[in-house]
Homo-oligomer: A and B are copies of this chain.
């Protein structure tokens, strides 16, 4: 991790070189030039009052985030917090034996680095760029100061932290109960929602690390999706062909998380999630109403 490379042009990345004449119609699709080269490309920043936004603007620093860049190391000090505009960052927890899982995905709806205002210099997870793109960074001390001024900024940051927590919990249960096939769909969708196109730059090996499973398992699961025409892929590039089918194949966890995040930004369209909203009742069923529950009779 070299500080001098922080502002490198993101358009030149491993595995993301300028494409040759389209071999496949899907992969030659030009990526929409939604660079979101403006702090307001980050929904959290965009939701600030003009006064707050004005105060932050001069200390926000644009950075390009290449795939694999480690923004925060586990247990290490956080120097900057990042407001992604067109990048996707995952929060990864790693065990002693090297096994790791991504517990949360963050993008232009939030901020990477909540510890500064949560009262701790460090946190146990590490933050890694999974989708190359841009972000605006701010020094942790400045963010902390801004947070302590209270007001809408504080509210938005806390509200986001809460949503992040929800995502972590949901991913935690998902880890235990849902099949790899479903989890793959969830991961793809969470990334997709934070990117401007239907294409992801991800190797199966990397996906395996994010889900905490073997690469071979990902190959198998991805193969099924490919066979069904839901996705296409080749050497680290994934193109989602049928998003609806992907949502249908995902576990409920995607919907739960999406719903929570949609509540952060009431302006955003919720059209895509409507069928899920209707199932909300089931998600919120209390523990004691569930069949075979050992708590029954204690109330």
Residues on A facing B (Cβ under 8 Å): 1-2, 5, 14, 66-70, 73-76, 91-101, 103, 114-115, 117-120, 123-126, 128, 148, 150, 155, 158-159, 161-162, 164-166, 168-173, 175-177, 203, 205-206, 209, 212, 252, 256, 260, 263, 279-280, 282-288, 290-295, 297-299
> Is the pair B173, A286 in contact by a Cβ cutoff of 8 Å?
no
A173–B119 alpha-carbon span in the complex (Å): 24
> Is the pair A159, B93 in contact by a Cβ cutoff of 8 Å?
no
List chain B residues, Cβ under 8 A from A2.
299
Copies per complex of this chain: 2
| Supplied contacts A94-B290, A128-B295, 14 more A-B pairs, CB within 8 Å | A68-B299, A70-B286, A74-B284, A93-B172, A95-B252, A100-B173, A103-B172, A119-B155, A123-B165, A124-B283, A172-B172, A176-B212, A205-B294, A206-B295
Contact for A74 among B98, B287, B292, CB less than 8 A:
B287
> Is the pair B98, A292 in contact by a Cβ cutoff of 8 Å?
yes
The answer to whether A177 and B99 touch (CB under 8 A), given A126-B286, A150-B150, is yes
Contact for A172 among B67, B175, B177, CB less than 8 A:
B175
